[in-house]
């Protein structure tokens, strides 16, 4: 089982059809099958809800759809990292790379565990990707599957 940190955008793409959603679904399915151990800062569950709230406000989703996504999402397939343990490193990343502290928390989680961060946030990737090789853009991430070796990316 390969441990990886994933950001909120990847999680949203699992439930809302967007660009790169097939890749996000393949990654989540591979984790459920045992190929990956998914990790994220514990506030990601709230951030996920906030993104769905914005989608309701923008009429991208109906309220009942957003509620269903929240209620049915298998959050138990994600290992939650305590944000209070990441805040100092997150703040350091925010200052160093001119990013939001909450984005820095995903970096801090990945750095502290020496694992990749898979993100769908192209702005974050542009800011840090060249300097932090363990930050991987979802669309370029090769998803492995325990059943057949790999899922085409």
Q: What CATH number is attached to the domain comprising 31?
A: 3.40.50.1010
Contact 7, 121 (CB under 8 A): yes
Confidence of residue 129 (pLDDT cuts 50, 70, 90): confident
Count the neighbouring beta carbons within 10 Å of the beta carbon of residue 72: 9
- pLDDT tens digits along 56-101: 999 999 999 999 999 988 889 999 999 999 999 999 999 999 999 9
Structural domain includes residue 152: no
The pLDDT mean for the chain works out to 92
Look at residue 150 and tell me if it is in a domain. Answer: no
Q: How far apart are CA 135 and CA 131, in angstroms?
A: 9
Q: How far is CA 17 from CA 11, 13, 72, in A?
A: 11, 6, 16
Task: Please state the rounded mean pLDDT for residues 40-59.
Answer: 96
CA–CA dist 112, 101 (Å, integer): 16
DSSP assignments along 27-81, one per residue: HHHHHHTTSEEEEEETTHHHHHHHHHHHHHHTTSS-HHHHHHHHHH--GGGEEEE
Comparing CA positions, the residue from 1, 24, 27 lying closest to residue 143 is: 27
Question: Does residue 145 fall inside a structural domain?
Answer: no
Which pLDDT does position 146 carry in this prediction?
57
The answer to whether residue 58 sits within a structural domain is yes
Q: Does residue 151 form part of some domain?
A: no
Give domain status of residue 112, yes or no. yes
- Asked if residue 114 belongs to a domain, the reply is yes
Q: Whole domain around residue 92: which residue ranges?
A: 2-140
What's the structural domain count of the chain? Answer: 1
**pLDDT higher than 50, residue 141:** yes
- Pairing state of beta strands 2-6 and 116-119? parallel
Tell me which DSSP letter residue 82 carries. Answer: P
């Amino acid at each position: 089982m390969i441990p990886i940190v994933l950001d909120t955008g990847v999680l949203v793409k699992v439930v809302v059809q967007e660009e790169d959603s097939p890749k996000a679904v393949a990654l989540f399915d591979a984790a459920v099958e045992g190929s990956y151990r998914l990790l994220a800062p514990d506030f990601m569950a709230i951030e996920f809800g906030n993104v769905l709230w914005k989608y309701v406000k923008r009429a991208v989703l109906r309220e009942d759809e957003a509620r269903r996504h929240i209620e049915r999402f298998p959050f138990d397939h994600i290992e939650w990292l305590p944000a209070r343990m990441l805040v100092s490193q997150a703040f350091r990343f925010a200052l160093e790379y001119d990013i939001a502290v909450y984005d820095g928390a995903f970096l801090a989680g990945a750095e502290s565990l020496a694992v990749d961060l898979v993100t769908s946030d192209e702005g974050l990737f542009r800011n840090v990707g060249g300097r932090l090789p363990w930050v991987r853009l979802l669309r370029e991430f090769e998803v492995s599957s325990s059943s057949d070796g790999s899922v085409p990316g």
